[in-house]
Amino acid sequence: MAAPRRRRVDTSGWPTKELILLEASRLFAVRGYLGTSTRDIAAAVGIQQPSMYSHFSSKQAIAEELLRRDLTAGNAALERVAADGGGAPVELYRYLHWEVAHDLATPFDLRSLYLGPLLDQSEFAEGRRLLKRYDALMRSIVERGVAAGDFVEIDPQFAKRLIDGVILEAIRTGALDNRVDDDEPDLTASFVLRALLAKPSRVPSVRTAARTLGAPS
């Protein structure tokens, strides 16, 4: 609970539209989507409130754009990992590593979009559609791992929920400065694999295999 400072980003030269997305994501994270007014966002960017409507047709459109960009990138990474193959443990490790690294590196703060009830609202159907794609891809990996005997015998849907919990925790605290000095993406992926692998002693070899393949860029 020590002084949660935020990362700093050099925004010089960013177009106004990008600044709106950045500041909106941060205000959404701290005050929530509904707790953030379009006047708050405009003030953070340094423009007047109606000027935002030259870039976005509504406040909702800002949140949609943030969701679209993030979920598209995540799904693309997950698809590349699955296409590269290597077996469910390696694929899961590689995706978790990418996801946590992504959460730590992105200037946007997407907490409230995934943690709050925002995605449950009918207006955000596109985000839900992209999230379903993620669900299917992730469940496929877990199912293959269980079927192949790589993972412990566990309901794949249940395992996926626990994995989601760990990922959301990374999103939840990724923007804060209270992180450990070590390799957080590796620590997180290893934590999940220790819990899932039928033989936890395989974690080092999975890590090595994943590292050989590199990031799903």
**Following CA atoms 133, 91, 160, 126 in sequence, which dihedral angle do they give, to the nearest 10 degrees?**
-20
Question: What residue 162 binds from its own copies, DNA, none (CB within 5 to 8 A, per partner kind)?
Answer: its own copies
Question: What residue 1 binds from DNA, its own copies, none (CB within 5 to 8 A, per partner kind)?
Answer: its own copies
Residue 172 interacting with its own copies (CB under 8 A):
yes
Which among 83, 77, 80, 113 has a CA at the least distance from the CA of 98? Answer: 77
Residue 15 vs 214, nearer CB to DNA:
15
Contact call for residues 111 and 36 (beta carbons, < 8 A):
no
Q: At what angle do helices 38-45 and 16-31 cross, to 10 degrees?
A: 130
Question: What residue 39 binds from its own copies, DNA, none (CB within 5 to 8 A, per partner kind)?
Answer: DNA
Residue 191 interacting with DNA (CB under 7 A):
no
Task: Write the CA distances from 8 to 49, 94, 111, 211, integer angstroms.
Answer: 24, 27, 17, 29
Question: Shortest distance, CB of residue 43 to DNA, whole angstroms?
Answer: 10
Contact call for residues 196 and 148 (beta carbons, < 8 A):
no
Give the Cα separation of 162 and 115 in Å (integer).
15
Q: Which span (77-85, 91-99, 142-150, 171-179) binds its own copies, by CB under 8 A? A: 171-179
Q: Which span (17-25, 30-38, 73-81, 206-214) binds its own copies, by CB under 8 A? A: 30-38
What is the per-residue burial (b if ≥16 Cβ within 10 Å, else e) of 18-49? ebbbbbbbbbbbeeebeebebebbbebbebee
Residue 169 interacting with its own copies (CB under 8 A):
yes
Binding mask 52-71 vs DNA (x if CB under 7 A, - otherwise)? -xxx-xxxx-----------
# chain residues binding DNA, by CB under 7 A:
18
Residue 49 interacting with DNA (CB under 7 A):
yes
Residue 37 interacting with its own copies (CB under 8 A):
no
Q: Interface with DNA by CB under 7 A: which residues?
A: 16, 36-39, 42, 47-51, 53-55, 57-60
